[in-house]
A and B are shown apart, each in its own frame.
Chain A
Amino acid sequence: MSAALVSMTGIVKDFTGVRALDGVDFTLRPGEIHAVMGENGAGKSTLIKVLTGVHAHDAGEILLDGKPVRFNSPGAAQAAGIATVYQEVNLTENLSVAENLLAGREPRLGPFINFRAMRRKAKALLDDLGIDLNVAAPLSSYSIAMQQLVAIARAVDIDAKVLILDEPTSSLDRDEVAVLLGLMRRLAAERGTAMVFISHFLEQVYDICDRMTVLRNGKLVGEWATADLPESELIGHMLGREAAALEQLERSVAGHEVADEAPLLSAKGLGRKGSIAPYDLDVRRGEVVGLAGLLGSGRTETVRLIAGADRADSGSLSFDGAKVAGHNPRTAAARGIAFCPENRKTEGLVGDLTVAENMILAMQAARGWARTIPQSQRNRVVAEFIDKLGIRPGDPDMPVKNLSGGNQQKVLLARWMLIEPKLLILDEPTRGIDVGAKADIQKLVAELSGEGMAVLFVSAELDEVTRLSDRIAVLRDRELISVLESEADMTTERIVDTIVAGGGSE
């Protein structure tokens, strides 16, 4: 067994009261490809950022080649031989391939860049990695995959001992991924570069990684050789099986028995290239349809097409008996489709506006600016929903950015309940909020569907999905692979099995 190249022990990182990493250990050996696995908020990116000098850790030790190190900036980490390739290609598209490869290290004649030597050097560098590009062409003329390879080539040229790849494949198609993985294999075999690989695609991880470290909620779950950890166990480790400390909700299937009539929403072959493969999905009145899958499996992308937040480039959608054309958020709301997006801060709320203003935003948007909601009606509904959803503090004039996550989520929910939608789409409504608010929101979803509202419910927590849903659509690798219908299928085990099986069986 070779000595560790990087060894991190007992790493602790706090962000203003939230412990993002709690005593995590991580070991990287020379020449290995090592996956760091975990769901959102597990601490993967924080761990990487501590290693690359973006964040300073609060406790613990990092050894590089056996010597303790502490990086203050990404530049310092680079100088020590730790290079990073990010999900977004961090190169400048307006410059040529050669310039991007060698920016800051161009060969020069006196003060002047020697373009001929630079092209030659870039060409040699790429040839060495088995990539054949016209190095004089601007980077923008190549596909994202090639750009990502150029980013890796740049990283490798900085004599990287450690190469960190943070979701480099998330915007690539299948062939492009094969190209990238091929390059990674060669780097490991021929140069002995150690790599840390982060990806949501289990196939890729199993394809290429020697070992994996699994994190959950900022804690280390364990480290395994890939061969020793079957996919089902890995998913179990990532998601955790412990039932949340929530009261068990009564599943009131009786209220949902209107399911035989024509579906309220029906998507046929709806899809968008590069984000979600075409899928069919029906939702009936009074029904909760859960969407389950790992992070990056296409959950959010699926519902965004239905909400009109993104434009579909294939398939058709019908809602409430009518075909939907020219779909956008405004027309969707007018039809009765409400969408609470995944990211409260950037896509949901306007932080500077007050609780009351955020609540009535959608209702007001539907009425247009000239028809103001009368002050008395406004005060009444705002007070009613603050009360009904238990928003704390109950001050309608507090800027919404001062509220806690759970209360912000309730404000967002109230915004859409105000327009009395027929279909409510909730994308991760319970992520990052406290247990009490979580239970409130779950109860509310059950109530609303009891009253006849259709709900599309996306959540990373399988417990929650199984508890609330009448049916569950399971996604994997940007594809809807199966819809679980029967009561017996509403278990986390069944969902995990379906994800592992990968949708081959119908």
Chain B
Amino acid sequence: MSTQTLTERPARSTLFDGMTRYIPIGATVALLLALYFGGVANYRNFDKPQVIANLFIDNAPLLVIAVGMTFVILSGGIDLSVGSVMAFSTMTCAWLTVEAGLSAPLVVALVLVFGTGWGLLIGAVIHYFNVQPFIATLVGLFLFRGLTLQISTSDMSMREVKFFQWGMTHVEVGGGIRQGGFWLPYLSFAAIAVVAVAFVVLHYTRFGRGVYAVGGNEQSALLMGLPVARTKIGVYVVSGFCASLAGVLAAFATKSADPLRHVGAELDAIAAVVIGGTLLTGGAGFVLGTLAGVMVWGLLNTLIQFQGNLSSWWARIVMGVLLLAFILLQRGLARSGEKRRT
């Protein structure tokens, strides 16, 4: 039996095509390093490990919602409700423990279940009724901000609740700040754990690979016999869970619930995801890129603090410019890819 073998090696130009998916994340990491060493070179004390540790403290809730957002965006959707769900979760924690007097662990569990359930509902509406994700999650944005304000229009403190001390309980590493080390609270570990779990799920499970497949080409995924419905709804479940978890972490971090906090958090999360190299149209990106994107956001704010005479809005403007640069970069890469293939 004569079997000839069909060989095709990616040519140099097509090999480059395979590498293009690493270009955006490479750019993010380069940017991160540039920001960090720029800070070290210009400011005293910027090289202290605690500066980096603080990034994981201040941005822990943002990191968690950005991870959920990564799932949604990878699948080709968007979730505008995360900021409101987060604020609602924090407020519910406060109200149920302080006003209703329920035990705190039970309340946390309830909040997480509720966020997950919300994700399930909105995911089902998006998939089965073919409602645009933008509109469907807009419902959540309005609804939970409204419900939060209905619970309380002013700050609610949770200082009395012992349980919420846990979050800021910290671990000293390298002998603490005095001896050149740093400290990190439990809630930061929780956020880092979320990133780790998300990484494993996205890269090493069928669900995770399904998210990429659906984001790459939903029609194809359907014809390949992949569980498209489960995947599309699943990403909103993940995002809903992450948003409520972020709300719980915020409760730990501040021990108070402000009904107007996290307005626009969904935009910060989207920006972090895109700057982390994830394609807004879905199908390409990495959750570790999202980590880098959140770190960029945090470092920008840290630099502004160190500079002292700059205002925080500069971070937003720079973020917008970076967003523009990354979107144009992705667009350019996509265009050159199209050109090479036809």
Residues of A participating in the B interface, judged by any CB pair closer than 8 Å? 74-75, 78, 84, 86, 89-95, 99-100, 103-104, 106, 108, 111-113, 115, 130-134, 137-138, 140-144, 146, 149, 154, 179, 182-183, 186, 190, 274
Contact = CB atoms under 8 A, between A and B. Distances in A.
Nearest to B13: A141
Nearest to B200: A112
B210 to A, nearest CB: 8
A131 B209 CA distance: 24
Given A78-B225, A95-B209, A112-B205, A140 B6 contact: no
B45 interface: no
B217 A93 contact: yes
* Shortest beta-carbon contacts, A-B, top 6: A92-B216, A94-B216, A132-B7, A141-B10, A141-B18, A90-B220
8 contacts: A84-B223, A90-B220, A94-B216, A112-B204, A132-B7, A142-B10, A142-B14, A183-B6
B52 interface: no
B224 A130 contact: no
Given A146-B8, A149-B6, 5 more contacts: A90-B217, A94-B21, A104-B210, A112-B205, A134-B10
Given A106-B206, A113-B205, A92 B8 contact: no
Contacts of A144: 341
A141 B14 contact: yes
A151 B21 CA distance: 23
A481 to B, nearest CB: 25
Given A94-B284, A95-B213, A111 B205 contact: yes
B337 A140 contact: yes
Residue among A99, A104, A154, A186 facing the most chain B CB atoms (10 A cut-off):
A104
B9 interface: yes
A89 B217 CA distance: 11
A75 B225 contact: yes
A131 B5 contact: yes
B208 to A, nearest CB: 8
Contact of A140 (B17, B212, B227): B17
Nearest to A106: B206
A92 B211 CA distance: 11
A274 B342 contact: yes
Contacts of B209: 95, 99, 103, 106, 113
A186 B6 contact: no
A138 B20 CA distance: 11
A90 B223 contact: yes
Interface string B209-236: 1101101110111011111000000000
A107 to B, nearest CB: 11
A331 to B, nearest CB: 23
Contacts of B223: 74, 84, 86, 90
B15 interface: yes
B219 A90 contact: yes
Interface residues of B, number: 38
Contacts of B221: 92, 103
B3 interface: yes
A31 to B, nearest CB: 16
A90 B224 contact: yes
Nearest to B7: A132
A134 B204 CA distance: 20
Contact of A143 (B8, B216, B284): B8
Interface string B312-342: 0000000000000000000000000100011
Contacts of A134: 9-10
Contacts of B342: 274
A104 B225 contact: yes
B77 interface: no
A141 B341 CA distance: 9
A307 B217 CA distance: 32
Contacts of A130: 3-6
B15 A141 contact: yes
A179 B6 contact: yes
Nearest to B8: A146
B39 interface: no
A100 B204 CA distance: 15
Contacts of A106: 206, 209
A93 B14 contact: no
Contacts of A104: 206, 210, 224-227
Given A132-B5, A149-B6, A91 B18 contact: no
A16 to B, nearest CB: 22
Nearest to B17: A141
Contacts of A103: 209-210, 213, 221, 224, 226
A111 B204 CA distance: 8
B289 interface: no
Contact of B6 (A95, A108, A132): A132
Nearest to A79: B225
A409 to B, nearest CB: 30
A5 to B, nearest CB: 22
A92 B283 contact: yes
Contacts of B10: 134, 137, 141-142
A78 B7 CA distance: 29
Contacts of B227: 104
Contacts of A86: 223
Residue among A103, A132, A143, A149 facing the most chain B CB atoms (10 A cut-off):
A103
Nearest to A109: B204
Interface in B175-208: 200, 204-206
Given A113-B205, A142-B14, A94 B6 contact: no
Nearest to B217: A92
A112 B224 CA distance: 20
A103 B8 CA distance: 22
Contacts of B205: 111-113
A89 B284 CA distance: 19
Contacts of B200: 112
Residue among A86, A90, A131, A144 facing the most chain B CB atoms (10 A cut-off):
A90
Contacts of A99: 209, 213
A133 B253 CA distance: 51
Contacts of A186: 3
Contacts of A183: 6
A92 B212 contact: yes
A132 B18 CA distance: 18
Nearest to B16: A141
Contacts of B215: 94
Interface in B107-166: none
B41 to A, nearest CB: 38
A166 to B, nearest CB: 12
